[in-house]
Chains A and B, each alone.
Chain A
């Protein structure tokens, strides 16, 4: 039994490297000033999908929704071992919140077809962990969130261990199912040199056209297995009322950049006397003792 796996990946700004320059004056984040990376836990999801494929056969399709430049993470997915890659891109996706995103990705997953859907537990730009479960509901699939390990996979059933924060659960479920994967699940592999040499030239139709390529060139890339699939909202037959800003119930009321400061602060001399005085003061005001 071979499984058709879809892995949802996201290109995210590297929030661990935000500096002052990355903040706009109005408190919003200047995404352009941040390096764009493969969302870390999506690497774990892809690794798990590849391990499932190696053990049981089948295929792995990496799917992302994003700007045309998000094709970069799809190439990385191909380097690691994905069989196919699909970019869902459309101006009308802009300003989608998690609900609208889950709707659009559900339409794409239904068009591509799948037995298993895997995604990272959460993305480091929003940390919401919502799109996976929201998709599972729309796909009418059960979900297993916070997967740490797959113990067993048979034609009809998957057994996983999931992290419950203060413990764990071993759960079984019939296929199809949607899994969200944590960074504890595995050590994502590095792209193989042979695959990097081949797939560094993989492109979306839009990238080929932009470089002056014709439809003939696109067909040729497809024959060579180097074409990254591209879908817009019409291709996935999305109902526009559930996409983009209109499809997003949550709106931003205000954004503030974080400037934390203590109200009153004191420099303490690091000498024995300085430390003694500080401790004394804290005893006096009943903070300690």
Chain B
């Protein structure tokens, strides 16, 4: 636990794998920059690993004022205990007021461990972060300039704003893809600070025997146009229509969890709370009812077309274009119209 420090920096844990910084770290730096500017403090990125010097400049370009590096060959591969030790040591030394992590398998493994050791608060899977004030109604006690940690809860049915005013740092994990990726600025200047944390074999209780990483077969986050099918598409064969429409539009296909579970398409294509969060220019939702868990992953899309034969389907509540009809007629017609005009 560290004392409340109003001058504390806003920190981002910069997750890296084999010397390459993960996208989520840049997304976090973009928002950290805005939060820090509001608070009038600096942005710090913390990076640990074996040879990481080459990426410090990149972290500065994406918004860091300071990059704290902990270079040690024992940190080459992420391990819970060793990385927890590094983070806690740096937090105790520099007393940041906010520490952000990606809600990735690594961030969700590390952040609670750090929170437990620091006896600090932690909010999981935030979809938005802001600075704001809080008043305790009973006592009238006011807390200003707190981190508002905004996240869906109860399966996405409510949005909760969480704060922690008395035990710092204020920490949160943030979902991948929900914060826009900032533009790097090659003129930005920053400071690289070497730190060292002593580590021993005891801090590495896990033996990594084998690791297989695979690139996702599709990059939904980078797609301008997404055509998503749900269980209502009916069969894997019928799902071919979704591909055809996506191809005609120069977009990519996607699916709800239900459709992916039915094997219509691979899990990499899943959009929603348990899949990828997307914000394309156009999202076409076909044969999907729009469960709140799915909407959590796509409601930020600029334009939404919904095709469904049930006029009461919740997806129509968020759609800009509502096409109530049989998808087996509507989708081929859309393909035809696109091919004729584009």
Measured CA separation A71–B281 after assembly (Å): 49
Chain A residues, Cβ within 8 Å of B292: 18, 258
Interface of B is mostly: mixed
Chain B residues, Cβ within 8 Å of A130: 108, 111-112, 115, 122, 124
- Count of A interface residues, CB-CB < 8 Å: 81
Closest Cβ of chain B to A77, distance in Å, is 23
Interchain CB contact under 8 A, B154 and A253: no
Q: Which of B116, B321, B330, B342 is packed against the most chain A CB atoms within 10 Å?
A: B116
Tell me whether A252 and B162 are in contact in the complex, defined as CB-CB below 8 angstroms, given that A145-B105, A258-B292 are known contacts.
Answer: yes
Convert A236-253 into 0s and 1s, putting 1 for each residue whose CB lies closer than 8 angstroms to a CB of B. Answer: 000000100000111111
Convert B127-167 into 0s and 1s, putting 1 for each residue whose CB lies closer than 8 angstroms to a CB of A. Answer: 00000101000000000001011001111111111111111
The total number of A-B Cβ pairs within 8 Å is: 244
Partner of B116, one of A28, A102, A126, A129: A102
**Does A187 make an interface contact (CB < 8 A)?**
no
Interface of A is mostly: mixed
Chain B residues, Cβ within 8 Å of A127: 124-125, 153, 155, 273
**Does B38 make an interface contact (CB < 8 A)?**
no
**Does B117 make an interface contact (CB < 8 A)?**
yes
Q: Which of B115, B149, B282 is packed against the most chain A CB atoms within 10 Å?
A: B115
**Does B53 make an interface contact (CB < 8 A)?**
no
Convert A161-174 into 0s and 1s, putting 1 for each residue whose CB lies closer than 8 angstroms to a CB of B. Answer: 00111111111111
Tell me whether A174 and B205 are in contact in the complex, defined as CB-CB below 8 angstroms, given that A129-B108, A143-B113, A257-B157 are known contacts.
Answer: yes
- Contact residue range for chain B? 35 or more
Interchain CB contact under 8 A, B165 and A251: yes
Chain B residues, Cβ within 8 Å of A99: 115-116, 119-122
**Does B299 make an interface contact (CB < 8 A)?**
yes
Closest Cβ of chain A to B336, distance in Å, is 8
Interchain CB contact under 8 A, A289 and B321: no
Measured CA separation A29–B113 after assembly (Å): 29
**Does B317 make an interface contact (CB < 8 A)?**
yes
Partner of B155, one of A23, A124, A159, A266: A124
* Nearest CB in chain B to that of A27: its residue: B158
Chain A residues, Cβ within 8 Å of B121: 97, 99, 248-250
* Nearest CB in chain B to that of A177: its residue: B205
Interchain CB contact under 8 A, A173 and B282: no
Interchain CB contact under 8 A, B303 and A287: yes
Interchain CB contact under 8 A, B155 and A282: no
Interchain CB contact under 8 A, B108 and A278: no
Convert A100-142 into 0s and 1s, putting 1 for each residue whose CB lies closer than 8 angstroms to a CB of B. Answer: 0010000000000000000000001111111111111110001
Tell me whether A126 and B282 are in contact in the complex, defined as CB-CB below 8 angstroms, given that A133-B116, A253-B134, A270-B323 are known contacts.
Answer: no
Please list 7 pairs of residues, one from A and one from B, whose beta carbons are closer than 8 Å in the complex, sorted by A's number.
A98-B124, A249-B119, A252-B162, A267-B322, A278-B323, A279-B341, A288-B249
